Amino acid sequence: MSQSSSSQVPQIKSRLGAILRATSGNFLEQFDFFLFGFYAPYIAKAFFPSENETAALLNTFGVFWLGALMRPVGAIVLGAYIDRIGRRKGLIVTLAIMALGTVIITISPSYATIGVAAPILVLIGRLVQGFSAGVELGGVSVYLAEIATPGNRGFYTSFQSSSQQVAIFVASLLGLILSAVMPDTEIMAWGWRIPFLIGCLIIPVIFVLRRTLEETPEFLAMKKHPTANEVFASALANWRIVLLGMMLAVMTTVTFYFVTVYTPSFVEKVLLLPKKEALQVTMMVAVTNFIWNPIGGALSDRIGRKPVLLAITALSFLTAYPALAWLTAAPTFGKLIVVGMMFSFYFGMYSGTMLGALVEVVPSHVRTTCFSLAFALAAGLFGTFTPFAATGLVALTGNKASPGLWLMCAAACGMAAALMIYRGGRAIETRETVVA
């Protein structure tokens, strides 16, 4: 529903403050997700011991992916809760669940200590995190869209993704510091847990920020909030737009997890470059991602979502594999920076546009559920599967540039979705009424 009687509804006092409070939970989510990917070789040795290093790494990335399969469940269950009870209360609940998963992974004993119970605990932690993450991103994106000033929805929603880049930067910086002060043997034995512990220590600060979050005027202005059954029915009635939204988000999720979670392992195990260089490039990517996201959102506010979405997906489709082939043929730090900056540009411009587009095409009265479900399916089935898929492709084909094929498929999905959603220059219509 559109906002009505706005003069009778309390307005957001400070939009900048609201952005910071809303996106704080995204920081924790991506901070932990990146750490899990970056320290995957250490986690593999701690929880999935194997004589075959690739097999152990695949097990670790497999658990990373299985956790993401809980995202659609969280999107439906928690999304319905947020659409019914409110954005503010819902985002506090998702943060509590996310914090629980982070603590479980941080304190889980190793396989050498408790045997098979160790990987089971890590899996439980990832499942809990995935359940929360299923709606965290969607809930924050919807919140930012609903407090946006007229004509700036793309710009505002882009800060959901930009906030995640701050987490990537901080996690990378901690990794560099840890590598400088501790020998690799100690990091492998127990030092990798330190960044996770730091993540646990900042949880209370994020809770304080979230508790002071104001409800959005648009939600307060709604005359009727749907029941859980009505949310589920409406989401089912709009399954086509949810499916297209998923395809639209595939490009975002696959590119993001490639340039952040998978890149450190790719640099160290495939390119055989120093781990320090992987961290340095990841920090640079986080900074440029932070910049490109709002630029993409603002540009799409001015010229429309469709042109930006199509231009970036076309560029990615044409250049992803050639760029990786050029990099892997003779790996250098300079080449790694060039390729990292290229994918950062693609991700930032596309993500900053896609978030605003997805908020606009899903039904407003079940906005959180449909947005979260579409994004959760993209992240669960494709995005978080990227490290596993990329590792498997290299092992199966022996072609170090083969992950580029996965990136091309993601670009093709995004392009097809944009063309179908914006047929004839207009976005497809959704069913605002609940279908029994």
Tens of pLDDT along the chain (436 residues) come to 344 444 454 566 677 888 888 888 778 777 877 777 677 778 878 887 776 677 777 777 777 777 777 888 888 888 888 888 877 788 888 888 888 988 888 888 988 888 888 888 988 888 888 888 888 888 888 888 888 888 999 999 998 888 888 888 888 888 888 888 888 888 888 888 898 888 888 888 888 888 888 877 777 777 777 777 777 788 788 889 899 999 999 999 999 989 887 888 888 888 988 878 888 888 899 899 999 999 999 999 999 999 999 999 999 999 999 999 999 999 999 999 999 999 999 999 999 999 999 999 888 777 888 888 999 899 888 988 898 899 889 999 999 999 999 999 999 999 999 999 998 655 555 444 443 3
- Is 113 a domain residue? yes
At 401, which CATH number? 1.20.1250.20
Residue 433 lies in a domain: no
Q: Is residue 2 part of a domain?
A: no
Q: What is the C-alpha separation between 113 and 125, in angstroms, rounded? A: 18
Q: Is residue 161 assigned to a domain?
A: yes
In a domain, residue 121? The reply is yes
User: Does some domain include residue 93?
Assistant: yes
Instruction: Note the pLDDT of residue 118.
Output: 87
Q: Which domain holds residue 365?
A: 7-425
Which whole-number Å values give the CA distances from 340 to 173, 175, 233, in the listed order? Answer: 17, 18, 42
Per-position b or e across 51-62, b if 16+ CB within 10 A of its CB: eeeeebbbbbbb
Helices (H) and strands (E) in the chain, counts: 21, 0
> Would residue 176 count as lying in a domain?
yes
State residue 378's pLDDT score: 93
Tell whether 432 is covered by a domain: no
Report how many domains make up the chain: 1
